[in-house]
Amino acid sequence: MTGRDVEQRFVDILTAVKASVPIPVALKTGPFFSAFGNMARRLDEAGADALVLFNRFYQPDFDLDRLEVVPNLELSTPSEIRLPLLWIAVLAGRIKASLAATTGVRSGVEVVKYLLAGADAVMSTSAVLDHGPAHLGPSTPPSGSTTSKPRSSTSMSIVSTIRSSTPRPIAFNMIPPPRSSSTITSRLRSRRPARCSS
Ligand SMILES: Cc1cc2nc3c(=O)[nH]c(=O)nc-3n(C[C@H](O)[C@H](O)[C@H](O)COP(=O)(O)O)c2cc1C
C-alpha cells in the first residue's frame, strides 16, 4: 500500500462515517504523513468537524539483557507538545474544522500554550493516569477561599482573559510572514493580562 493509498483510505473512511451518522465527526490522527498540511486540508474538505492532533501510538522498546520486546507504555512529558503545538498554530484559522490538542498536557501551562496556538479543545490522558482525575483541578476557586489558586485555575483565568481580548489565535499570526522570535515574544507579552507577573 502506498502513502497515497493510505491517505485516500483516511478520506474514504471519513466520508463513509460522515454519510452514516448525524453527529459531528472528529478525526484523531497521527503526524506521520508526507505532507500533513495537505492531509489536514483534505480531511477538512471531506467534512471532518474536528481534527485531534496527534494520536500517540504505542512504541515498543527492546530489553537488551533479556533480548525481548518490551511492550510497555511510556507516558508523555510536556516536551512532547511541540509537534502538535506547531501544527495547531499552522492550521488554526486556515481550515474549517475545529482543532483539539492531545499529547504532553501535564499542567495548565501546556493548556495555555495549546490554546494560544489556536486549539479549540485540549485533552490530557497521561497526567490523569499518573495523578488521578483531581489533577485537573477546579476551574474556579471555592468561594471565600483565601489560599492561592491552583496552577491550572490561574492558567485557565489567564487563557480566558487572553481569548476574550484576542479575536484570533495569537500563533495564527506567526506564519506567514516570518517574524523573529523576539517579535513573537513581544506580541505574546502585549496580550498578557496585568495580573500575570512572571
Ligand atoms: C492507556 C492509554 C490508552 C489509550 N487509549 C486510546 C484509545 O482507545 N483511543 C485513542 O484515540 N487514544 C487512546 N490513547 C491516547 C490518548 O488519548 C492520548 O491521545 C495520548 O495518550 C496523548 O495524550 P497524553 O500525552 O495526555 O497522554 C490512550 C492512551 C493511553 C495512555
Q: Which residues share a beta bridge with 68?
A: 63
Q: Is residue 196 part of a domain?
A: no
Is 198 among the domain residues? no
Within a domain: 197: no
At residue 139 the predicted structure's pLDDT band, cuts being 50, 70 and 90, is low
- Residue from 102, 125, 128, 136 whose mutation best tests the ligand 1 pocket (most atoms within 8 A of CB): 125
Substitution site in 55, 56, 59, 130 for ligand 1 pocket (most atoms within 8 Å of beta carbon): 56
Ligand 1 pocket check for 76: Cβ under 6 Å: yes
**Structural domain for 100, as ranges:** 3-190
pTM tops 0.85: no
Answer whether residue 145 is part of any domain. yes
Residue 49, pLDDT score: 98
pLDDT tens digits, residue range 85-134? 999 999 999 999 999 999 999 999 999 999 999 999 999 999 999 999 88
**With b meaning 16 or more CB within 10 Å and e meaning fewer, what string describes 44-65?**
bebbbebbbbbebeeeeeeeee
User: Beta 121-122 vs 26-29: how paired, if at all?
Assistant: unpaired
Q: How many domains does the chain have?
A: 1
Please, which residues bridge with residue 50 across strands?
26, 98
Q: Model confidence over 45-82: pLDDT tens digits?
A: 999 999 999 999 888 999 999 999 998 889 999 999 99
Please indicate, yes or no, if residue 17 is contained in any of the structural domains.
Answer: yes
Q: Which CATH number do you get for residue 117? A: 3.20.20.70
Q: Is residue 195 part of a domain?
A: no
